Amino acid sequence: MSPPHRVVIVAFPGTELLDATGPAEVFSVASRVAGADRPGYLVRIATADGGPVTTSSGVRLMADLALDDVPDPIDTLLVSGAIDIVDGRVEPVIDHEVTDWLRRAAPRPRRTGSVCAGAHVLAAAGLLDGRPATTHWLTAERLAAEHPEVRVDPDPIFIRDGRVWTCAGVTSGMDMALAMVAEDHGQELALATARMMVMYVKRSGGQSQFSVPLSVQSSSDNRIDELRRWIVEHLTEDLSLEALAARAHLSTRHFTRLFHQHTATTPAAYVEATRLEAARQLLEEGERSLPEVAAASGLGSVETLHRVFRRRLGTTPAEYRRRF
């Protein structure tokens, strides 16, 4: 029998506990489900000095080895993430001992991945240069600003680019690990692992990680916040630029400028994205026909529904329903 896949998960002070233990549990369960006759996974936690680290939850995570003792080669190297809240702002934590090790001494694994804000660590080490990548939506804008050479996409749950994988916030690390199990052993074992872990669904990497209303930070203008909430609750009404400006008691020009200033998007783009999210939820949760989904989401026609799905998600409504 082939030897087990060797997985090393890098942790450091402040690591989000589930960033490390979530993928570790997926690989562990997959090994048990696969049985003794198939190669499973050997998971090890590595820290800078091989000692325990205190995670963001206060739970101490024990290490199996120090970074400099990580063997070469290994199959999978995952870097966990950490975030701080500073003056009300979310700040990704960059552990310089980890980034230095990644630059100078890290083994070349078959695949490398990051969980949540761990993408910032990979980027700081230069491992994401020229690649598409994702991270938690709260820090995606920061990642793009600090590393313009990285093609940041804040929407997917995870992205694979060759041997490099990145994923979104915390629990999406389990989705990414399941996809790795599927790559190693096939979909059947990955689905059996998901069932064993009572995961609601094994999500594909293309599924969105966040909701549109939550993805836009609260603005300092109550009129814009109130209007955004109203839009979500009235998707089938007239949401044209003129109608929204009139509701806000502003000229269309001033309203457009104010809306973009406080949301970093246009009124039309926000309306379309909100309607698309509603359509996605309807497709995921029920058996409504496509004309019913188009009408209930405010997109109007099946033709518009198809066009928006193709342009924004690169798929069709029917294919999206089948996958999710």
**CA–CA distance, 248 with 226 (Å, rounded to integer):** 9
The per-residue b/e assignment along 31-48, b for 16 or more CB within 10 angstroms, e otherwise, is bebbeeeeebbbbbbbbb
Domain match, 223 and 167 both: no
Q: Is 16 inside a domain boundary?
A: yes
Q: Is 258 inside a domain boundary?
A: yes
Domain match, 39 and 168 both: yes
Neighbours of 204 (CB within 10 A): 14
For the chain, the helix, strand and coil percentages under 3-state DSSP, each to the nearest 5: 45, 15, 40
Q: Is 146 strand, coil or helix?
A: helix
pLDDT tens, 298-321? 999 999 999 999 888 778 999 888
Q: What pLDDT is recorded for position 214?
A: 47
Q: Is 147 inside a domain boundary?
A: yes
Q: What pLDDT is recorded for position 319?
A: 85
Domain match, 45 and 153 both: yes
Domain match, 17 and 163 both: yes
Low-confidence residues of the chain: pLDDT under 50: 201, 214, 216-217
Residue that has been written with the tokens 């188009």 in this structure:
294
- Give the strand pairing for 151-152 and 132-133: parallel
Provide the domain count of the chain.
2
Q: What pLDDT is recorded for position 281?
A: 84
Q: What pLDDT is recorded for position 170?
A: 81
Neighbours of 154 (CB within 10 A): 20
Domain end: 196, 229, 261, which one?
A: 196
Closest by CA to 79, choosing from 24, 162, 143, 9, is: 9
Domain end: 196, 230, 263, which one?
A: 196
Domain match, 142 and 274 both: no
Q: Is 69 inside a domain boundary?
A: yes
DSSP state of 67: G
pLDDT tens, 165-176? 999 988 899 999
| Preceding peptide of 132 cis, ω within 30° | no
Which domain, by its residues, includes 159? 5-196
